[in-house]
Amino acid sequence: MIERLIAASLHQRWLVLLLALGAVAFGAWNFQRLPIDAVPDITNVQVQINTRAPGYSPLETEQRITFPVETAMSGLPKLDYTRSLSRYGLSQVTIVFKDGTDIYFARQLVGERIQQVKDQLPAGVEVAMGPVSTGLGEIFMYTVEAKVGAKTQGGHDYSLTDLRTVQDWIIRPQLRNVPGVVEVNTIGGFERQFHVLPDPGKLMAYRLGFRDVMTALAANNANVGAGYIERNGEQYLVRSPGQVGNIAEIQDIVIGSRGGNPVRIRDVATVIEGRDLRTGAATRDGEETVLGTAMLLIGENSRSVARRVAARIEDIAKSLPEGVVTRTVYDRTDLVEATIRTVRNNLLEGAALVVAVLFLILGNIRAALVTACVIPLSMAMTITGMVETKVSANLMSLGAIDFGIIVDGAVIIVENCLRMLAEAQREKGRLLTLPERLRAIQRGSSEVIKPSLFGTLIIAVVYLPVLTLTGVEGKMFTPMALTVLMALGAAVLFSITFVPAAVAIFVTGKVSEHENLFMRVAKRAYLPLLRFAIDNRAAVAIMAVVIVVASGIAAARMGGEFIPSLDEGDVALASIRIPGTSLTQSLDLQKALEKRIKQIPEVKEFFTRIGTAEIATDPMSPAQTDGYIMLKPRAEWPDPDKPKADVIEAIDHAADEIPGSAYEISQPIQFRVNELISGVRSDVGIKVFGDDLDILQGAARQVEAAIRGIRGASDVKIEQVAGLPILTVRLDRQALARYGLSVAEVQGIVEIAVGGKSAGKLFEGDRRFDIVVRLPEHLRGNLEAIRAIPIPLPPGEEATANTPLRTALSASSLTQMRYVPLSSVATVDATPGPNQISRENGKRRIVVTANVRARDLGSFVAEAEAAVAEKVKLPPGYFIGWGGQFEQLVSATKRLTIVVPVALLLVFLLLFMGMGSAADAALVFSGVPLALTGGVAALLLRDIPLSISAGVGFIALSGVAVLNGLVIIAFIERLRSEGRSVAEAVREGALTRLRPVLMTALVASLGFVPMALATGAGAEVQRPLATVVIGGIISSTMLTLLVLPALYVLFRRDVAREAPTMGPDMAASGER
């Protein structure tokens, strides 16, 4: 079948060429559709339900909102788990679905349940699902600023409120229409509001209450449509506008009348343009600012969307008011382009090296180019495949593509074809005719097609374990394996169709076949070494074992990390302050911090989000901030060679000079992704579940004490759930009864007085602003003022009969002063209360987190489990769960420990099938551990820790190593089947096969060299894999060439045996 395919390709060679061109074109077109990002998106399938509950304390939020929402979500299909967070004014329930669930399906389900639960929620809360975005979604950030000296139309300086209004009503609506942008989030500045500030004394005088003000505002601010009338054949629409449009109109609203005089809002209240009680703020370089973030729709191409956003921002600039500018502070395009540049350079340089090696060894530039053509062809096919399987192009998915390995199959075929052509030419003593060429190529291709396929199959098989990974590591590495498999598949396809056809078309001239200088030198050096190895075979074998054991031990004791992190080029600096830190205080500290950090010469910009943005994708309290430190391009640094780690250290030191905050340094994308994936980001998280917060806290303290003493435990911490100062207005029911007041009345007044209450909206075109009724600042601003909030009393019997004049005369004038201070009906105390309440799967929980240093996670967790079980006594209904990053590490390790041996076994079986002898298969297989030693050594030399990335490198390595061994052993077997002695067969076989072994090795390792040495953005992610492969291939080549023959001589005796079934085929590729 394969031979017929080759024949057909040769026959229709121009068509094949055309089809290949078509594949390239198709690939190029698909490349436009290929989602490109810096790193793979590892966010799980989750839907956030954010509920804003203005004024609710954490306890009320949990009880009235979080609990019903959470309960409604239980039992959803494909649900993995739920977790929730209840904070001041905000409930966030995160529903995590099983991997692979369609996000829109999930949102549909959640949306239905939200509809059902809405009735149970208190009036006035807004339930909304978070945007359809992921941890990589924040692709573009900008600030809205006023130029120095710019004035508004009104002639005053631009205030934060003005800038926020520009953002909300000019920039954001336009930006939201950019295709691929799912949401534009805003933080910072103040939302414009209109505040009606009633004077309680004046209200009293008119015998009016807050409620009357609210009612009046509501009843005098609406437009009404009244249908239409017909008049002389025309239709007239009828409308009656009644909306207020400005402060004066609000002031003129009539509340009631007294003695025929209308009482207007202006008589009892002042109306001003005010600021909202905000939950978050933003700063840049020590000044407050307004920060907008464009969020990427799931599955979109971050680079192209970020570009579109940037272009739209430029457009919008024209429509901004004079003096207002936007300033781009974060653009994902920069990072993506830098990484793509790195990847592209690596691939291009790798390809160039491969072509050079091919030319050097093949000695025929046309043949080398034909072989190299397989690279763009298979890449084009791979891109098409990636688009079809929805694999995005990034550092990881493209990180394992080694053009050397990909062209292996093609190399073998081209080589053999060249040999055949040269032979035929020598026989005929002239240039060949077309049919003769075709025949030679046909023979040359079919002769080696089986070993070529076989080798590719082995390399493909070793990638299978990677496909079984799930969870975060699966999301990182499965695309990588898929891409490699697709590339290998495409390469195979092209090497049996395109390669023969192209050779037939292009390799027309004289084909010489003489060994070039490189090979002659190599052989001369190799021969004595081989002889020495065979003579001292026992010693060589022992040495090999020693090296393998030593590197095994070394590997076991090497530092490990989960996945190398991409250097995003920027720094995220999160400041964490004690619960209860006010927004203003947080802002002050942050401004000081930013000014200090800005003094570091490498820092370009420092901007920060404090607290929660308008859309609560990341619910933080005002005590928490996410800071982004943008570094200058290296060229602008005082010392461009300074390592980034030093800069980070400088930042750390500088931050330490500003007291009052703890800091966490990370990177923007990394930070965001971590926040989304799970609540627990430490190695080990011990979750205590239960009902009562105090008991939970106590239990958590016991757990903390239990694990603190365990060796290896560091950063042991209890989740901060308490410590938020709460002002509790506790009503005295007896006092209320005496005054004839109800609890709700007083609560309503406290609510209006302190927090304010929305009483409709004011429209300015599309823009709409809340009208809020609130007590003037001096009556609500501090503890004493709150205690003195006037509570109006219900009217007494005779009060209504009195005229204002009577008041002046009446002996009991004080009956008119009918209000009491809040403190006479309530006690007002400040007590610490819960800061936040976290729940998981419907239960309250507190997490004790710990990191593990200088010890392996598995044994630490085992010891910790025992210690907790022994020392922590829990009341009934309370239980403990374990989680944290160790779960991922453990699950990945566990899976790999099963699947890797299985894959190796598969390889062994393949070898056995191919060679027909378990002993030979075992010999070939011995190349694997030998190859690994080089990988370990290379890692050690470059001081790179073990990681799953490096692990994947080892996997790829095994495939190449086995192929090397296979090539040699198969040829030796063939020689022996021809009747040579073992020693002779080994010597000759090894020498003959030196060339292909060196070639595959050189091609495969040189293909990775640019990746291993690159320093551009993202290089650190690819480095471990490339390093392992290069080191391993060097060692495996040396060892295959020296140790394998020695082992062969050591273990095989001169026994007449049958030729292995596949041996000749295998060996054929080596006949040169």
Main-chain dihedrals φ then ψ at residue 327, nearest 5 degrees: -135, 120
State how far the alpha carbon of 952 is from the alpha carbons of 640, 731, 750, 943, 1025, in Å.
33, 65, 62, 18, 7
Q: Counting contacts by CB under 8 A, is residue 945 touching other proteins?
A: yes
Q: Counting contacts by CB under 8 A, is residue 442 touching other proteins?
A: no
DSSP H helical ranges for 818-947: 857-871, 885-915, 918-925, 927-942
Q: Counting contacts by CB under 8 A, is residue 820 touching other proteins?
A: yes
Q: Counting contacts by CB under 8 A, is residue 12 touching other proteins?
A: no
CB atoms within 10 A of CB 124: 11
Coil vs helix vs strand at 562: coil
CB atoms within 10 A of CB 523: 16
Contact 662, 581 (CB under 8 A): no
Output the CA torsion sign for 956, 959, 962, 967.
negative
Q: Counting contacts by CB under 8 A, is residue 21 touching other proteins?
A: no
Contact 282, 608 (CB under 8 A): yes
Nearer Cβ to other proteins, position 388 or 798? 798
Contact 990, 968 (CB under 8 A): yes
Shortest Cβ distance from residue 661 to other proteins (Å)?
A: 6
Main-chain dihedrals φ then ψ at residue 291, nearest 5 degrees: -120, 125
813-849 burial: b if 16+ Cβ within 10 Å, else e: eeebebbbebbebbebeeeebbbbbbbbebbbbbbbb
Residues 143-202 that bind other proteins (CB under 8 A): 201-202
Question: Of the listed pieces 40-48, 129-137, 450-458, 826-834, which binds other proteins according to CB under 8 A?
Answer: 826-834
Nearer Cβ to other proteins, position 202 or 344? 202
- Given candidates 31, 169, 526, 562, which one binds other proteins under the rule CB under 8 A? 562
- Given candidates 251, 585, 702, 891, which one binds other proteins under the rule CB under 8 A? 585
Please provide the DSSP assignment of 114-168 as one string: HHHHGGGSPTT-EEEEPPS--TT-EEEEEEEEE-TT-B-TTSSBPPHHHHHHHII
Per the structure block, which two tokens stand in for 1015? 């320093």
Site of tokens 């805003």: 186
Shortest Cβ distance from residue 624 to other proteins (Å)?
A: 6
Question: Of the listed pieces 62-70, 101-109, 158-166, 829-837, which binds other proteins according to CB under 8 A?
Answer: 829-837
Residues 684-723 vs other proteins: string with x where CB under 8 A? -------------------------------x-xxxx--x
- Given candidates 635, 805, 1055, 1056, which one binds other proteins under the rule CB under 8 A? 805
Contact 775, 791 (CB under 8 A): no
Shortest Cβ distance from residue 252 to other proteins (Å)?
A: 21
Question: Of the listed pieces 447-455, 607-615, 789-797, 894-902, which binds other proteins according to CB under 8 A?
Answer: 789-797
Q: Counting contacts by CB under 8 A, is residue 521 touching other proteins?
A: no
Question: Of the listed pieces 280-288, 587-595, 863-871, 1061-1069, which binds other proteins according to CB under 8 A?
Answer: 587-595
Residues 272-331 that bind other proteins (CB under 8 A): none
Q: Counting contacts by CB under 8 A, is residue 554 touching other proteins?
A: yes
- Given candidates 456, 497, 666, 1069, which one binds other proteins under the rule CB under 8 A? 666
Q: Residue 824 carries which DSSP code?
A: G
Q: Residue 752 carries which DSSP code?
A: I
Q: Could you give the CA distance from residue 368 to residue 365 in angstroms, rounded to a whole number?
A: 5
Site of tokens 């953002």: 167
Q: Residues 895, 901, 906, CA angle at the centre, nearest 5°?
A: 120
| Strand ranges (E), 709-866 | 713-718, 724-731, 757-764, 767-773, 790-792, 819-821, 826-833, 837-840, 843-852
Residues 619-648 that bind other proteins (CB under 8 A): 620, 623-624
Question: Of the listed pieces 97-105, 762-770, 802-810, 954-962, which binds other proteins according to CB under 8 A?
Answer: 802-810
> If we measure between CA atoms, which residue out of 934, 1037, 919, 930 comes closest to residue 543?
930
Shortest Cβ distance from residue 694 to other proteins (Å)?
A: 14
Shortest Cβ distance from residue 589 to other proteins (Å)?
A: 6
Nearer Cβ to other proteins, position 643 or 659? 659
Shortest Cβ distance from residue 931 to other proteins (Å)?
A: 17
Residues 73-102 that bind other proteins (CB under 8 A): 85
Per the structure block, which two tokens stand in for 833? 């209360």
Nearer Cβ to other proteins, position 934 or 1070? 934
> If we measure between CA atoms, which residue out of 181, 183, 176, 88 comes closest to residue 130?
183
Q: Counting contacts by CB under 8 A, is residue 657 touching other proteins?
A: yes
Question: Of the listed pieces 271-279, 282-290, 513-521, 536-544, which binds other proteins according to CB under 8 A?
Answer: 536-544
Q: Counting contacts by CB under 8 A, is residue 215 touching other proteins?
A: no
Residues 857-896 that bind other proteins (CB under 8 A): 885
Residues 96-135 that bind other proteins (CB under 8 A): none
Question: Of the listed pieces 356-364, 569-577, 869-877, 950-958, which binds other proteins according to CB under 8 A?
Answer: 569-577
Q: Could you give the CA distance from residue 455 to residue 404 in angstroms, rounded to a whole number?
A: 13
- Given candidates 54, 274, 465, 579, which one binds other proteins under the rule CB under 8 A? 579
Site of tokens 């930006």: 175
Shortest Cβ distance from residue 286 to other proteins (Å)?
A: 12
Residues 391-410 that bind other proteins (CB under 8 A): none
- Given candidates 224, 434, 814, 1056, which one binds other proteins under the rule CB under 8 A? 814
Q: Counting contacts by CB under 8 A, is residue 592 touching other proteins?
A: yes
Q: Could you give the CA distance from residue 975 to residue 983 in angstroms, rounded to a whole number?
A: 11
Q: With CB under 8 A as the rule, give the number of residues binding other proteins.
A: 97
Shortest Cβ distance from residue 557 to other proteins (Å)?
A: 5
Shortest Cβ distance from residue 531 to other proteins (Å)?
A: 14
Residue 948 C-beta-side C-alpha neighbours within 13 Å = 27
- Given candidates 28, 238, 817, 905, which one binds other proteins under the rule CB under 8 A? 817
Please provide the DSSP assignment of 58-123 as one string: HHHHIIIIIHHHHHHHTT-TTEEEEEEEEETTEEEEEEEEPTT--HHHHHHHHHHHHHHHGGGSPT
Nearer Cβ to other proteins, position 137 or 679? 679
Nearer Cβ to other proteins, position 455 or 951? 951
Residues 946-985 vs other proteins: string with x where CB under 8 A? ----------------------------------------
Residues 721-780 that bind other proteins (CB under 8 A): 723, 725, 738-739
- Given candidates 82, 289, 364, 581, which one binds other proteins under the rule CB under 8 A? 581
Coil vs helix vs strand at 855: coil
Q: Counting contacts by CB under 8 A, is residue 940 touching other proteins?
A: yes
